Chain A
Amino acid sequence: MSAVGNSVARKDGIGKATGAARYADDITFPGMLHGRTIRSTIPCGRIRSVRLDFDTTGFTVVDHRDVPARNAVDLIAQDQPFLVEQEIRHMAEPILLLAHENRERLYAVPVEVEYDEGEPLFDPEKSQQVFKTIDIVKGDTSSALADAELVVEGTYRTGHQEHVYIEPNGVIAVPEDGGIAIYGSVQCPFYVIKALRCLLGDAHPNVRVIQTETGGGFGGKEEYPSMIAGHAVMLALKSGRPVKIIYDRAEDMVATTKRHPAIVRHRTGVTRAGRIVAMDVDVLMDGGAYVTLSPTVLSRGCIHAAGPYRCDNVHIHGRTVFTNTPPNGAFRGFGAPQTEFAVEVHIDRIAEALGMDAVELRRRNALRPGDTTATGQTLRDDCSALMVLEEAVRRTDFDRKREEYKGSNRSVGLSLFYHGAGFTGAGERNLKSKARLELTAGGVRIAVGSTEIGQGTRTMHAQIVTDALGIPYEDVEVAQPDTSRVADSGPTVASRTCMVVGKILEECAHEMRDRLGGLSPAEYHSRHGPLTVERMYEPPDWIEWDDALYRGDAYATYGWGCDVAEVELDPDTFEVRPIRLTAVQEFGRPIHPALARGQIEGGTAQGLGYALLERVVMHNGAMANGQLTNYTIPTTLDTPEIDVVMMENPYPGGPFGAKGLGELPMDGPAPAVVNALRQLGFDVREIPATPELLSAGSRLG
């Protein structure tokens, strides 16, 4: 029996179910101190003074003057300091660090910061400071709009979303012989290395990062852990002792990244027969106070902004701007959930304006193999928009339900969506990811920096190697990511861990199989000793991308999805209860069906939270409802039955035909729910679609 395609036993073992798995806060080191971060309590201004009104004996105190080399978190720009020097740009910005061996003493001491307050800017539409502008141009949109038989316009808004990984952020920095080790809850160990090199300069070359078991990420542990690691390292260097920094939920929610809020404007020209002839899209994303990853989030958002539709004339203009709020960052979907929400709600409104069935409108315009996307990419045979649409409509008996529910408090809504897998454009080529396979005495060891954050990295990689090498699954082990011991396989983001890193591992396994020359790993090892194979990712040679013009093959392949949400409204309270969500998704081929199903079920639940429940309330530039009591994610009773349909359309460039999957399920639920609300008479153009919004919002005629 092959491993790929079967739900084999997970490489995690049983530790997660017995309490034996060790997360950052479960680990202690002798002599360890605890760290605390003193943060700004204003959104904008300058520091006048910092006063420590206590006896600092026994405390390690670190401020910006202790930065060894460069006070900047090294992401796209180097504008965000590890510790504020003078200028405060957002609430909860780190100013000073304290460490002490006694946590109670550490938490109790007062630090007074005095400020000269500035005038904060919270409204992205008023921001003059643009971090990044993107224009995607295809055809002649203004002429096509002028000639269109009908033009439909609309503005759509999405709010912040908080990741709510159940394990808050945590890092431990441990001085060791000739260097320093960082243990932590991180998605991207090599991002941390990059940030620490910038922080420390050449003075401290031996830095390694070891990923501890990680209690969820969803993008939320992509960039921010570099900040925390920098803090822990500075405290550890100054004290000469291990330092652990664990955020509590309140600190995690107020200080760390969220999904970018977005405002998306559409002007779409159509023929009376329902052919889309022009799409003019304007995307505005609130980046927060520093650049961080906003340009790339905007990029993915813009590329997906026209939806999975064929159209000869498209102009997508995007910008991400500064506000005096904590930087927004990576979150499952990376800009696409915002723009796909907008376009999918807009499509239903176009159908309404045309007096046409919304499914039929999608059917006529959905991308097919041979069509070109907004960036001019010609789609290949692995385009499945129509296939998922037809299956979702058939499986849910969509047309009949839509008729049957008319006039009741129930309704169904649908969304069609897609998600590019891997880094955008030339990203994978530039990244030069590597994977390594090491022969062990009894099998092989996978040594990559890809992290297991719940999604099943270890298992799925081991399955690929098992079948590609033709050895028993049990003989494949997966090394814990330790940057000093594993290959830099790139960050664990962008739905690339299976498709890209899995592909390199497949090639490593093929090479190793050849080098074993028919011997088993054990035989080879006993005769010839160790053997290591390392390979670098080669993206498909046909990929062409012009980063200046935003034209070309944005992604090597896409996953495709169609969600149908069935909801019920309480007309007295405006509470919306999802009854069932059908998620039809095509992502090449599932390596591990049970894990893949878990990605779809979990991503769909997050999408439902995004649609209905999850509202970040900002007061004076800070999250005011930063508690799990008041920022409500779905519980068991909020989560409906999720009917998962996994369709296959293999991608030749992926391992065993696999594409990326992790983010795709996040894109569909919100527009499907809002399109269902439209059938109930609510003209919703904003999420979360809370009862308050529905009760106040305009009803359709």
Chain B
Amino acid sequence: MTLRFVLNGAKTELDAHPMARLLDVLREECALTGSKEGCGEGECGACTVLVNGEPVCSCIIPVAHVEGAAVLTIEGLGGDHPLQHHFMNEVGAQCGICTPGMIMAAMALGPAPTLEDVKTALAGNLCRCTGYAAIYRAVMKWRGLEAPPSMVAE
């Protein structure tokens, strides 16, 4: 089918099987390889993108479902988004494979999240490197909030 949607702010038209996985279309047709496949079952969140502002796992979505929608991938944040810098500065990214999905899930947080809000928002994103603490630090700093004292790097 011919598919029309807004990808990272740009009108996009492409041909794809309607049941193709959104992740494959993004990575292979659109050359946006920032979204990663970690599990293929919506469990790890490494493929998270925003569809109409909502985080979803692109590995378990038929591309037909983004017809007419706005899709935002990690590449759509550009290379200079404050959250991206906080992730690197706080070592919220170690190996980095979960990072794009983690950042996209965090993008959906409200302006003044509590630590519990952050944990809940990121509960669908697995990270095996960090134990998550540095990720909380990155997100809280991005929102201008203080991380709990014991988490602040000395």
Direct contact of A and B (CB under 8 A): yes
Within 8 A of B (CB), among A209-251: 213-218, 248-250
CB contact list, B96-154 vs A, under 8 A: 96-100, 103, 118-120, 122-134, 148, 150-151, 153-154
Contact of B88 among A10, A636, A637 (CB under 8 A): A10
A242 to chain B, nearest CB (A): 16
User: Is the CB–CB distance between A602 and B129 below 8 Å?
Assistant: yes
Interface centre among B44, B129, B148 (most CB of A within 10 A): B129
**B14 in the interface, Cβ–Cβ < 8 Å?**
no
Q: A632 to B89, alpha carbons, bound, how many Å?
A: 29
Decide yes or no: A21 and B40 within 8 Å by CB, A14-B85, A641-B150 being known contacts. Answer: no
A-B contact pairs, 18 of them (CB 8 A): A18-B79, A18-B100, A19-B75, A166-B127, A166-B128, A215-B95, A249-B38, A250-B40, A456-B91, A597-B134, A598-B94, A598-B129, A598-B131, A601-B131, A604-B131, A606-B128, A635-B126, A636-B132
Q: How far is the CA of A642 from the CA of B150 in the complex (A)?
A: 8
Task: Answer yes or no: A401 CB below 8 A from chain B CBs.
Answer: no
* Given A19-B33, A21-B96, also A166-B120 (CB < 8 A): no
Interface residues in A359-375 (C-beta closer than 8 Å to B): none
Q: How many A-B residue pairs have CB under 8 A?
A: 182
> B residues within 8 Å of A by Cβ?
27, 32-41, 43-44, 46, 73-75, 77-80, 83-85, 87-91, 93-100, 103, 118-120, 122-134, 148, 150-151, 153-154
Most chain A CB within a 10 A radius of its CB, from B41, B80, B125: B41
A494 within 8 Å of B (CB atoms): no
- The 8 A CB mask of A590-620 against B (1 = contact, 0 = none) is 0001110110011111100000000000000
In the complex formed, the residue of B with least CB distance to A218 is: B128
| A85 contacts B by Cβ under 8 Å | no
For residue A566, give the distance in angstroms from its CB to the closest CB of chain B: 13
Does the CB pair A14–B88 fall under 8 Å? yes
Contacts of A15 in B (CB 8 A): 96
For the complex formed, measure the closest distance between the CB of B120 and the CB atoms of chain A, giving whole angstroms: 7
Q: Cβ of A309 < 8 Å from any Cβ of B?
A: no
Please name all residues of chain B whose beta carbon is closer than 8 Å to the beta carbon of A22 when the two chains form the complex: 33
Cβ A17 vs Cβ B103 within 8 A:
yes
Q: Does A467 contact B (CB under 8 A)?
A: no
Q: Which of A168, A216, A248, A249 contacts B129 (CB 8 A)?
A: A216
A7 to B134, CA, bound (A): 13
With most chain B CB atoms within 10 A of its CB, the pick from A165, A166, A455, A635 is A166
Interface residues of A in 616-664 (CB under 8 A from B): 627-629, 633-637, 639, 641-643
List CB contacts (< 8 Å) of A560-605 with chain B. 593-595, 597-598, 601-605
Cross-chain contact B35 with A19 (CB below 8 angstroms): yes
Q: Are B150 and A643 in contact (CB under 8 A)?
A: yes
Q: Which residues of B contact A166 (CB under 8 A)?
A: 36, 38, 44, 46, 95, 97-98, 126-128
- Interchain CB contact (< 8 A) of B154 among A18, A21, A593: A593
Measured CB to CB, the closest approach of chain A to B137, in angstroms, equals 9
Are B39 and A627 in contact, CB atoms less than 8 angstroms apart?
A: yes
Chain A residue nearest to B136 in the complex (CB): A636
User: In the assembly, what is the distance between CA of A602 and CA of B91, in Å?
Assistant: 11
Q: Which residues of B contact A16 (CB under 8 A)?
A: 87-88, 93, 95-96, 99
User: Which chain B positions have C-beta within 8 A of A629?
Assistant: 39, 41, 43
Q: Which chain B residue lies CB-closest to A28?
A: B28
Q: Which 7 pairs between the two chains have the least Cβ-Cβ distance?
A: A19-B34, A16-B96, A215-B97, A454-B95, A605-B131, A454-B94, A601-B131
CB <8 Å contact, B79 and A14 = yes
Q: Which residues of A contact B36 (CB under 8 A)?
A: 23, 25, 166-167, 215
Distance A17 CA – B84 CA, assembled complex (angstroms): 5
Answer whether residue A12 sits at the interface, using C-beta atoms and an 8 A cutoff. Answer: yes
Asked if A637 contacts B119 (CB within 8 A), the reply is yes
Cβ contacts under 8 Å, A594 to chain B: 90-91, 134, 153
Docked pose: A166 CA to B39 CA in angstroms: 8
Q: Which A residues are CB-close (under 8 A) to B33?
A: 19, 22-23, 25-26
Given the complex of chains A and B, what is the CA–CA distance between A619 and B101 in angstroms?
A: 33
Report B37 CB to chain A, min CB distance, Å: 7
Give chain B nearest CB distance to A390 CB in angstroms. 19
Q: Given A23-B36, A641-B151, check contact A598 B130 (CB 8 Å).
A: yes
How far is A21 from B87 in the complex, measured between Cα atoms in Å?
Answer: 14
Given contacts A22-B33, A595-B91, A602-B130, whether A627 and B43 have CB atoms under 8 Å apart is yes
- Alpha-carbon separation in the docked complex, A77 to B50 (Å): 49
**Min C-beta distance of A669 to chain B, whole Å:** 10
Measured CB to CB, the nearest residue on chain B to A604 is B131
Is A249's CB under 8 angstroms from B40's CB?
yes
